[in-house]
Structure 1
């Protein structure tokens, strides 16, 4: 596998599924999900002419606005609730179960997660979820791996009669929340010990954080009331381009491929999206729905809404690049920090290159526990 000097290769196991240590649901067949990432099957995304045949990777948008200037202007237009989350921390990683999650939990990472929330909410037509909950839903909701808690808080506002519980490794959620929202600090890979079942269990952005996805889905099934719903949203962590402007020789492609294989080697797959449908079917869920959204990287789409999603995605990708990379490249692949920094500078150039019209896929799977089960 690619490395700057050929020394940082990875041995990838024949099976990427660790042994199952959880009790399988009786209806779960002993089959393995093997779905692979591939480009979304929807129509190609039209490209803004300003992003075609550009001689300079960071040249003018039109004639006057560079990509950096465009991002600066776009960032300033975002609401303060997205980019100015109220925590005053230095850069840090979580202390609880240190090493089980590769990303930091500090203020810059919280800002990035809140921006990702804004991006994916806009991407899915301004919906917090795709599950068909009733307008006056009043059930129990579990947000697993809730991060900053922004989704839980929004759900609490939207459904004031519901009971929302967010679970995460780090205590970074705000203190002032709707009265129907609570947070707990725990590891979702531990045994679940809830005394009451939930009516809706939600999960997103857990790519790279879970060692056994099938066990996680079975636990969600076991903790849902009959007729309850589960929804998983996650990435495939593969860059594509419909027009061939992204190639295997681009550093952004090399970076994400290296990251994905390293996470696989660590048994923390960062590309669960294509397999989510299979996982929920194996666990016994019914009424399974699977939607795939193209997430552009940068402002190249002609469509205004997708352009905004792409710019938000570019910002959160650039701001999270070091956080995504340092532990993987230095601890696992044994790169020197200077090597990583030089490589990431090249990756940034690719990410901001208006001639590269890249995207990745965002998978949303929602399903129901059978009535009477």
Structure 2
């Protein structure tokens, strides 16, 4: 069983939401995550997923497929899985793997394949998985999700649940507008 016994972790992730400025947000006071979790945000996240899928011609970056064999029985963790779109599509294309999605908001799909598992959890409380379980850990757009002081313990937990030789992908988009000066 990949999950740690319930008495070894506590989560303050809460399925209840609060309305703030006419948008719906999660109700986890200790979280740094500031974006809403309403239908508008879920649509935005899905659109971003499909745009990236198109950009990279699939769910997996080519380099990831070079390193890992997704036709074998990999254990895959998607932290901050949002709507679960990446997990759902990847689990259909690569059905031999087991997929675990964790998010602070419970906007998970109502129906999903048997090789997918979704969990409402605040990662600041640690990761509720046994040591050295995952072959691949995916972090999507995490730059603004954590405070600077939260990164070291978070990464320590991520490394703890990764098997030796596992791969972690931290996918970020550079949205900064930068002016480049040209000097003769």
Q: Same-fold call, TM > 0.5?
A: yes
- Give the number of the structure whose residues are more often strand, by fraction: 2
- Give the number of the structure whose residues are more often helix, by fraction: 1
SS in 2 for 1:220: helix
Is residue 2:109 matched to residue 1:185?
no
How far did residue 142 of structure 1 move? 0.8
Task: Note the 1:255-266 alignment, pairs <5 A.
Answer: none
SS in 2 for 1:110: helix
Task: Note the 1:118-133 alignment, pairs <5 A.
Answer: 118-129=50-61, 130-131=63-64, 132-133=67-68
Tell me if the contact between 2:78 and 2:101 (Cα under 8 Å) persists in the aligned partners. Answer: yes
Moved over 4 A (4+): 241-244
Distance verdict in 2 for CA 1:138–1:236, change over 3 Å: same
Tell me if the contact between 2:137 and 2:168 (Cα under 8 Å) persists in the aligned partners. Answer: yes
Residue 229 of structure 1: aligned partner: 167
Task: Note the 1:1-80 alignment, pairs <5 A.
Answer: none
| Structure 2: gaps spanning 5 or more residues | 1-21
Compute the TM-score of the two structures, normalised by the length of structure 1.
0.39
| Structure 1: gaps spanning 5 or more residues | 1-89, 245-373
Task: Note the 1:144-293 alignment, pairs <5 A.
Answer: 144-195=79-130, 197-211=133-147, 212-240=150-178
Residue 95 of structure 1: aligned partner: 27
Deviates more, 1:168-177 or 1:208-217: 208-217
Q: Let me know the Cα RMSD of the aligned residues.
A: 2.2
* Structure with bigger gyration radius: 1
How far did residue 242 of structure 1 move? 6.4
Tell me if the contact between 1:198 and 1:224 (Cα under 8 Å) persists in the aligned partners. Answer: yes
Compute the TM-score of the two structures, normalised by the length of structure 2.
0.75
Aligned length: 155
Matched residues in 1 for 2:174 and 2:50: separation?
A: 19
Distance verdict in 2 for CA 1:122–1:240, change over 3 Å: farther
SS in 2 for 1:143: strand
